[in-house]
Amino acid sequence: MRFLRALGRLWLVPVVLVAWEVATRAAEDVFFPPPTTIVARMHEMWFSGPAERLWLTDAALENIPTSVGRLFVGWLLASVIGIVLGVMLGRSALLSRFIDPLIQFGRAIPPPALLPLFLALFSIGAQMQIVTITSGIIWPILLNAGDGARHVDRQHLETSTVFGLSRSQRLFWVILPSAMPKIFAGLRLSLSLALILMVISELVGSVNGIGFQLLDAQRSYDLPGVWGTIVVLGVLGYLLNSAFLVAERRVLSWHRGANRTT
């Protein structure tokens, strides 16, 4: 039953796919191959391996897990640092006065422009890529956490002051939960940004990963390959987002309940 309902939510997908197929076939543009061609190319690239390896090819096994691994590490790092720093900045006016310009500065810098710096600071490979991902996606979390922590309902803060809650109790039981809706908005944004940054981090000096494959396909004018990589990114994004929403629903159940109207 739940499965059927989940399927029902996907009704738009086949519609879009068919429309896409029809439109691209009509256009006959080499740059816009029809989905069937893309899928065939994807199959060839990633899913034509031996059965005992779930049909995954060497390319799939080499590139997808490494990329996704780096993505997760980068995202988790960004979440932790972003929430900690954001809450600190949100709660301490003094600190934010000192650091805020730096943050606004860092936020506006194109991640590719930071690559040389990271290349200088970190050894090439996973470390540098994770730093690139983290530094690129931390901003939505940082900003949302900062705003969330800054704008806690005054009455809630006063209540915790009055009952003498310690700083950490106040943080964990009052400030964080109340900033949670905003923090989750930031986390959700940064999750798909992480996919984008993953690709960017693999553009320079890398030897594997989904972004590397995208670049490789672009370099060899393998347009179905380019599209196939984009599709993989999109599907990954959808899956990650769905998992994220499940987690969010659990953590923010109070929020939905408290703000429900008929």
Partner 1 sequence: MLEISNLTHVYGSGPGAHHALGGVDLKVAQGELVCIVGPSGCGKSTLLRSIAGLLHPTGGTVTLGGKPVERTPDDLAVVFQDYSRSLFPWMSVGDNVALPLRRKGMDRPRRREAATEALEQVGLAGAEGKYPWQLSGGMQQRVSIARALAYRPALMLMDEPFGSVDAQTREDLEDLTLRVRSHHDMTILLITHDIDESVYVGDRVVVLSKAPATVVGDLRVDLPGPRDQITTRENPEFVHLRAEVGRLVRGMRDDPGAAS
Partner 2 sequence: MTGRSLFDNRLLCGAIGVAGLFCLAELAGRTGLIDPIVFPLASSVVGRAVGLAADVDFLADVASTLGAWAVGLLLTVLIAVPVGFLLGTLPWVETSLRPVLEFLRPIPSVALIPLALLLFSDRFDMKVAVIVYAAWWPVLINTMYGLKDVDPLAKETLRSFGFGPMAVLWRVSLPSTAPFIATGVRLAAAIALILAISAELLAGGSSGIGTFILEAGSSPDALEYTVAATIWAGAIGVISNSLFTLAERRLFHWHLARTEGAR
Partner 3 sequence: GSEPADTAQASGGGGLEKAEITIGALPIPDSAALYIANKRGFFKEEGLTVNIETVQGGAQAQQSLMGGSLDATQTNYVSTFLAVSAGNKLKIVADLYQATPNSFNIMVPKDSPIKTPADLKGKKIAVNSKRNIGTLSVTSVLKAHGLTEQDVTFLEFPFPDMAGKLQQGVVDAAWMTEPHLTAVQKNIGAQKLADTMTGPTADFPIAGVVVTEEFLAKHPKTVAAFQRGLAKAQQISASDRKAVEEILPTYTKIDAATAAVITLGSFPTSLDETRLQRVSDLMVEQGYLKSAIPAKTILPDSNG
Residues near partner 3, by CB under 8 A: 30-31, 116, 119-120, 123-124, 203-207, 215-216, 218-223
CB atoms closer than 10 angstroms to residue 4: 7
Q: For the purposes of burial, counting CB atoms within 10 Å of the CB of 20, is it exposed (0-12), middle (13-18) or buried (19 or more)?
A: middle
From partner 1, partner 3, partner 2, none, which one binds at residue 140 (CB under 5 to 8 Å depending on kind)?
A: partner 2
Counting contacts by CB under 8 A, is residue 68 touching partner 2?
A: no
CB 211 within 8 A of CB 226: no
Write each residue from 182 to 221 as x if it is in contact with partner 2 (CB under 8 A), else as -, in one continuous string: x-xx--xx--xx-xx--xx--x-------x--xx--x---
Q: Given CA atoms 104, 110, 116, 122 in this order, what sign does their dihedral have? A: positive
Among 1, 5, 246, 262, binds partner 1 (CB under 8 A): 262
Counting contacts by CB under 8 A, is residue 117 touching partner 2?
A: yes
Q: Tell me the chain's radius of gyration from C-alpha atoms.
A: 22
Q: Which residue, among 146, 78, 157, has the nearest Cα to 111 in the 3D structure?
A: 78
- List CB contacts of 56: < 8 A, sequence separation 6 or more: 46, 47, 49, 64
Counting contacts by CB under 8 A, is residue 161 touching partner 1?
A: yes
Q: Which of residues 125-184 bind partner 2 (CB under 8 A)?
A: 139-140, 143-144, 147, 150-154, 157-158, 161, 181-182, 184
Of 51 and 261, the one with the shorter C-beta distance to partner 2 is 261
- Candidate segments 34-42, 54-62, 102-110, 126-134, binder of partner 2 by CB under 8 A: 102-110
